[in-house]
Structures are given as structure tokens and as C-alpha cells.
Amino acid sequence: MPSDRPPRPEPGTIASVLYNVRRVPKRVRRQSRDFIETAVSQLFDAAVRHPHGTAASGEYRIDDLARLAGTTTRNIRVYRDRGLLPPPLRVGRIALFNDTHLTRLRLITSMLDRGYNLAHVQEMLSAWEQGKNLGDVLGLETAIVGTWTTEKPETMALVDARRLVDDPTAFERLVALQVIRVDGAQATVTRPKLIEAFNEIRGYGVKLEKLVDLHEQIVPQIDKISDLLVRAGAEHVLDKIKPGQALPADAEIAELITMLVRFRTQAVATVTATLASSIESSIESLASRILADYLERSPEGGAEAPPDELAERRRQAN
């Protein structure tokens, strides 16, 4: 007699994880919060897998790395041979680069665009990494203070920009927010990565209007954080360089400039890490609540728990 049960999902998928947790008796699910936490961890692991063999986010093959950095694969190999780039991760015969390589490559490209040669770039990178010869590294600081760490605006035909956003109302709002600048028949996307992120999230069914709303609400908060950080760095500089007094020695000024550049770099890194940790914690908490409710409503794995037990399970999940 054929079974009425649907076929078991492919192992390692989200459907497979949910299939397994639904089969666990509900009395086991209620024993502790560990069950929900383990299931959430398995769901996250399944979600980040790429069954078609594509690299994970932040991992790039050499062709992708060259495209993102605006250079060529030949140049990347030259920089590797000269020791300007660290070796990639080897997975079999495939070389995988990461965001550290991308950042370093953008810096090298920026310095070369400013007229430095490879030997000079290598010398300054070495001095920068070893924290010495600060006066000689000021050229490197100038390169770093440039726009290599920020998004590069992309100019295109207005019709292409509208097609990229694909939402007339949202397009006008993005123009008002200066995410897009319109000049006649051309448009400049000042935040191409933001638009790219919007379009990816839209693929999951989130409306663009909602994403623009979030951006509009978040920017003022980011500005407040930026103001706090910049004022902290400025106070340190103003304590060293006082109006009406002689300037410090060149070496001390060089050190202050270096401090400000590193302050910016580390501030961005720490804020990013803190935000990522906070978002991760919030997502895990939300996923735990959703999964707990899902399991409570599941008809499989035994009879439904009494109302008081459901309330206790919700409390544990939170």
C-alpha cells in the first residue's frame, strides 16, 4: 500500500531540517530551549549552503575579484608575485580570495592611480604594516583617505537607472534622498551597493518602499554614531594642536594624521562588528520564536501540547 507521506526532502536543506524537527515528539521539544537553538543553528547552516557550487558571500574567484576591484586577473597575479597580496585560500585547484584581498587590492589600485609605482607601493605598505617611518607613510595615508573604502558612484542612462530600480515611486524617493542624482538624460547612482542590496532583498518578496523607509530611518541614526566617533577623534587632535600655539613637530603631526586614519578604519570595523553581532542576536531570537510557533502548530510528532505548556514554551523561546 503506497504511503501518503510526502517524499523526504534532500538532506542538508531547510526543508530537510524542518522535516526532521517536526518528526521529533513534542514532549522532547518541550524539555529545554536547547532543542530550538540547535534547530535554528541547523536552519542557518542550511540557508548559507550553495548547492550549485557558487562561492559563499565574501569569497571570490580571481575573475570576480578583478571585476569588483576594477582591475585585471593579470594584475592580481603580478601583485601576488610581488608580495603585495597575501596568498588565496586553495580549495582543490580553485583559488578563493576574500574581502581582505578585495580591500587590499582596491588600496593598491588607488595608489597606482595616484602615480605610485609598484616598488613604492610595496615599500609604503611594508612601512604601514610595521608601524614605522610615519613621515614616509604620509603618501599612503593620502591614498587611504581617498575614496577606495567607499562606494564609487555609477553613471548610466536615466532609462537604465529607472530600470535598475524598477519602481517609479521608490525611484523618486531615492532621488530625494540623493541615493540617485538625475542630470538630464543621465543618472548617477551614488550608492550602487545599497541598490544592489535592495534588489536582492526584493527577491524575497520585501517591497522596495519598505526598504527605502528603513534606509530613511537608519541614516539619521548612523549620522549620530558618526558624529560621536568623529568628535572623539577631533578632541584628541585639538588637545595636541591648540589655537594660537606653535604647531607640534612634523613627526607628531604625522602621528596624529596616522591616528586619525587608523581611527576611521578601526571605528568602521568596530561599529560594523557590533552591528553585525546585534543583528545576528536579533535574527536568532526571531528565528527561535518563529520556529517555536511553527512546531506548536505542527500536526506531526504527537498530540498538541496543553495551552499552559505552549505558553511556557514561548517563554523559553524568548
User: What is the domain partition of the chain in residue ranges?
Assistant: 37-134, 149-218, 240-289
Secondary structure, 3-state, the chain:
CCCCCCCCCCCCCHHHHHHHHHHCCHHHHCCCCHHHHHHHHHHHHHHHCCCCCCCCCCEECHHHHHHHHCCCHHHHHHHHHCCCCCCCEEECCEEEEEHHHHHHHHHHHHHHHCCCCHHHHHHHHHHHHHCCCCCCCHHHHHHHCCCCCCCCCEEEEHHHHHHHHCCHHHHHHHHHCCCEEEECCEEEECCHHHHHHHHHHHCCCCCHHHHHHHHHHHHHHHHHHHHHHHHHHHHHHHHHCCCCCCCCCHHHHHHHHHHHHHHHHHHHHHHHHHHHHHHHHHHHHHHHHHHHHHHHHCCCCCCCCCHHHHHHHHHHHC
In this prediction, residue 28 has a pLDDT band, given cuts at 50, 70 and 90, of low
CA angle, residues 190, 68, 146, in degrees to nearest 5: 55
In this prediction, residue 12 has a pLDDT band, given cuts at 50, 70 and 90, of low
The percentage of residues in the chain with a pLDDT greater than 70, rounded to a whole number, is: 65
Stated pTM of the model: 0.53
Is it the case that residue 57 has pLDDT exceeding 90?
A: no
Report pLDDT digits (tens) over 142-193: 444 444 445 678 999 999 999 999 999 999 999 999 999 999 999 999 999 8
* Higher-pLDDT residue of 212, 258: 212
Give the pLDDT confidence score for residue 208 in this predicted structure: 94
Residues 258 and 249: their CA atoms lie apart, in Å, by: 14
Class of residue 183 by CB neighbours under 10 A (exposed 0-12, middle 13-18, buried 19+): exposed
Give the pLDDT confidence score for residue 50 in this predicted structure: 38
The class of domain 37-134 in CATH terms is: mainly alpha
* Higher-pLDDT residue of 47, 136: 47
Amino acid in position 227: D
- The answer to which of 63-72, 73-82, 224-233, 290-299 has the lowest mean pLDDT is 290-299
CA angle, residues 252, 247, 241, in degrees to nearest 5: 75
Report pLDDT digits (tens) over 236-287: 777 776 666 666 666 666 666 667 666 776 777 778 788 888 888 888 888 8
